[in-house]
Structure 1
Amino acid sequence: MLDNIDKLIIEELSKNSRITMKKLGERVHLTGQAAASRVLKLEESGIIEKYTVTINQAKLNCLIHAFITIRLNNPYHQSFLSFIKTQEHYILNTYKVSGDGCYILESRFPSNEVLDQFLVSLNEYANYNLSIVINKQN
């Protein structure tokens, strides 16, 4: 069971996972060593699974942010999933979903031309519905 200190630690690490244990301890009113001990327990219990980096895709010239709903008629999805693995430089996340589609791909493309080439290739494996992100709401 998490206490308030654990929740504060998770909140601080969510903002900046590279924070020093000393600084983390200051923010949650513990010593650096006590904060490190708490973080280790959160990792060992599986509450903290990994640390990640958020990339600003627009600064990498990937200006087109799209969500692609995938519909597969074939119950065997392996060829589609194999194709998606070859496209990981465009695919940020792949979600298996229920509802109107089988998967949702969160993707980024540098241009409409590259997006179009991707969709032509994708159409060999699946039908899709494309949604382009206009603006991210915070």
Structure 2
Amino acid sequence: MLDHTDMSILHELSKNSRIKMKELGEKVHLTGQAAATRVAKLEDSGVIEGYTIKVNNSKLGYLIHAWITIYTKSTYHQPYLSFVETQENYVLNNYKISGDGCYLLECKFPSNEILDQFLIDLNKHVNYKLSIVINKL
């Protein structure tokens, strides 16, 4: 079970995973060594699975951020899943969901033309509802 200090460490690492252990320790009221020991335990227990970077997709030319709710046409989902695997340039995340739809795709596209072609190809496997992100608040 995680205590308040572990939760504080996770919070600080989620803001900046490159923080120096000494600075992390100061933020959570531990020594740098004690913070490093706690982080190692969180890694060993699987609470921390890895570290990553946050990419600004707009600066990479991906100006369209879309959420696509997927409605499968049958109970056989493999053709859709295989299609999604081939679209790694555009698909950020593919979530299996409950409620409205079967899957929720988070995607990025450099243009409306490429989005349109993606949707044409997607519609060969499933039906969908498209939502475009206007602004992140």
User: How high is the sequence identity, in percent, across the aligned residues?
Assistant: 66
- Rounded Cα–Cα distance in structure 1 between residues aligned with 2:27 and 2:135: 33
| Paired residues of 2:73 and 2:125 also in contact (CA < 8 A) | no
- Rounded Cα–Cα distance in structure 2 between residues aligned with 1:128 and 1:28: 45
Residue ranges of structure 1 left out of the alignment (5+ in a row): none
Deviations 1:66-103 (A, max 9, x none): 11111112111111111101101101111101122110
Deviation at 1:124, TM superposition (A): 1.0
Q: Find the counterpart in structure 1 of residue 105 from structure 2.
A: 105
Q: Deviating runs (4+, > 4 A) in structure 1?
A: none
Q: Does 1:126 align with 2:126?
A: yes
**Letter aligned with residue 122 of structure 2:** L
**Letter aligned with residue 43 of structure 2:** E
Q: Find the counterpart in structure 2 of residue 41 from structure 1.
A: 41
Q: Number of aligned pairs?
A: 137
Residue ranges of structure 2 left out of the alignment (5+ in a row): none
- Rounded Cα–Cα distance in structure 2 between residues aligned with 1:54 and 1:115: 23
Listed as ranges, the matches of 1:44-123 within 5 Å are 44-123=44-123
TM-score w.r.t. length of structure 1: 0.94
| Paired residues of 2:67 and 2:130 also in contact (CA < 8 A) | yes
Aligned CA RMSD, in angstroms, stands at 1.1
